[in-house]
Structure 1
């Protein structure tokens, strides 16, 4: 099996083994890909499942497809796991159920649920097992969500409010991002974290000193982004270092106003790009050069951003003025 790196897509499929061995193979594959779990299935013949896995920075992206099944993580398995995670699960094709912290939740297509692998859980896929499962480091989740253990097992409505935004974004993630990143990995994981915090309805707890400074911190973050936006690969960590606060404080401050770092940065960059493309005095600078001046060194990425923010390519926007 290939080592887990940011450039590898791992694959498991019961189609590789004889029909009578498929369930045993699948249990082993799931334990290898996730954590130790037990599985039963009502499918007596023709059982078939597969999983693809990619690594996006510190987050594992798993796409599971296959037959109906009931999955358990019991006390006997908890002590055998060398590492633990939170898992964010979402299905888009049919209803399913999940249990953790002593209560059952019925989830409909596009709903999500956060599960804590340090506690027992079970979920039932009565029709298909087609699922997105995001493997999230515990420390990463705790940096975004207040008291995630209490939220584990609770349904996140994937059709309204921030839950709908989280569901739509999460469902665009695939293992293939491991080899074909549309944006830097940290930009994508920051976006996921911000949406998860908003969908969970949580605020990251601030220290007393951070609370005293919260009144003007949002303005400071905005000024720092406007100062540093031209740096390719600018991150929230860089802005936090510039402001001498923690990265977590930057994200928290933005989340309270319904914002994300990547969103504010992109808005700033594209506002500058719009101005430069609109003014004749910048016509001597090529489209790629304008992208570089706003911190977007990849020309194709700059063009995609222009289509999104301006509704057309940068060259077309320049011609139509």
Structure 2
């Protein structure tokens, strides 16, 4: 049963929605009001769904397992089988993602630990999730050049990282996943120099789904993109420091390590090593003994 309080003459609400396979993507905005949902009456027999709610504008109060003050940018997961109350005193703008419990359990084995908890958008993986969801509108789904499963997999992977960040026992990597995790890392390392390498390529070689790949990495607080770039950067720096590669230009070294854009290559090396590729090379040439020992490590 859904109860809505507010001035019916002034109340307004707008909604757009799009289907993204297992996830419904919804945007809602409107005027101040309060809502109480009691699932133990008329709605009890309806489909069990979960809802990831992102507050995009004014702060509001909610109660779902516990009282929560949800600031702009913050998120929470709502279970349709539990009481839910929200009080919004100003205009609201909400990003809303609806999915089944089974979908989320593919990423977080016991996601009940996340239900009703405030997910901040100012630190850790919550910052990444908040920024991603703010862009993932129904219009973005309709115009996406990527399969919608790729877009929704990012939601699941980031929620898994948030659960791991909070040290929930359910998302600690299982022993049976350790072997797969090592195989994924090894495969990325072996193929990192391929310019167009993507997660689907690794999953295909290991005969697993892309979702399993992302889920396994997320359980270890890792992402495919970061592992790939870190490996390419490490290979490139070893080549830069090696006397055997002094005849190669820095652009060629970047290309051989898997970087197709020289400027991107330079930015990645600078951000990870605090120096541009040319400065790393200059330092290695001034200390050939150190360079050789580094390249052989």
TM-score, normalized by length of structure 2? 0.68
Alpha-carbon separation, structure 2, partners of 1:135 and 1:189: 11
Check if 1:209 corresponds to 2:176: yes
Q: 2:100 aligns with which of 137, 154, 162?
A: 137
Check if 1:170 corresponds to 2:133: yes
- What is the root-mean-square deviation in Å for CA atoms of aligned residues? 3.9
8 Å contact kept, 2:58–2:92: no
Alpha-carbon separation, structure 1, partners of 2:227 and 2:195: 15
SS in 2 for 1:64: strand
Check if 1:84 corresponds to 2:48: yes
> Quick one: structure 1 residues 265 and 181, their matched pair in 2 at CA, closer, same or farther if it must change by over 3 Å?
farther
Alpha-carbon separation, structure 2, partners of 1:141 and 1:185: 16
Alpha-carbon separation, structure 1, partners of 2:234 and 2:21: 29
> Quick one: structure 1 residues 67 and 106, their matched pair in 2 at CA, closer, same or farther if it must change by over 3 Å?
same
| 2:33 aligned residue | 69
Alpha-carbon separation, structure 2, partners of 1:309 and 1:53: 39
CA apart distance, 1:223: 3.3
Alpha-carbon separation, structure 1, partners of 2:195 and 2:100: 28
CA apart distance, 1:95: 1.2
TM-score, normalized by length of structure 1? 0.63
Alpha-carbon separation, structure 1, partners of 2:228 and 2:234: 10
Alpha-carbon separation, structure 2, partners of 1:84 and 1:131: 21
Deviations 1:91-141 (A, max 9, x none): 12221122223x221111111100111223222222123111111232121
> Quick one: structure 1 residues 206 and 161, their matched pair in 2 at CA, closer, same or farther if it must change by over 3 Å?
closer
Alpha-carbon separation, structure 2, partners of 1:148 and 1:160: 20
Stretch of structure 1 that moved more, 199-208 or 168-177? 199-208
Deviations 1:12-38 (A, max 9, x none): xxxxxxxxxxxxxxxxxxxxxxxxx52
Matches within 5 A, 1:106-185: 106-185=69-148
Alpha-carbon separation, structure 2, partners of 1:93 and 1:59: 23
| 1:278 aligned residue | 251
Alpha-carbon separation, structure 1, partners of 2:61 and 2:226: 34
* Unmatched tracts of structure 2, length 5 or more: 240-248, 268-297
Alpha-carbon separation, structure 1, partners of 2:146 and 2:231: 17
Alpha-carbon separation, structure 2, partners of 1:125 and 1:209: 46
8 Å contact kept, 2:199–2:210: no
8 Å contact kept, 2:160–2:215: no
8 Å contact kept, 2:171–2:219: no
Number of aligned pairs? 251
Alpha-carbon separation, structure 2, partners of 1:79 and 1:157: 30
> Quick one: structure 1 residues 189 and 231, their matched pair in 2 at CA, closer, same or farther if it must change by over 3 Å?
farther
> Quick one: structure 1 residues 191 and 117, their matched pair in 2 at CA, closer, same or farther if it must change by over 3 Å?
same
Structure showing greater radius of gyration is: 2
Alpha-carbon separation, structure 1, partners of 2:52 and 2:181: 29
| 2:294 aligned residue | none
CA apart distance, 1:310: 6.5
| 2:245 aligned residue | none
* Unmatched tracts of structure 1, length 5 or more: 1-36, 283-293, 295-301, 312-321
Deviations 1:264-306 (A, max 9, x none): 457779999xx999339x9xxxxxxxxxxx8xxxxxxx99xx9
Q: 1:53 aligns with which of 17, 21, 35?
A: 17
Alpha-carbon separation, structure 1, partners of 2:122 and 2:70: 11
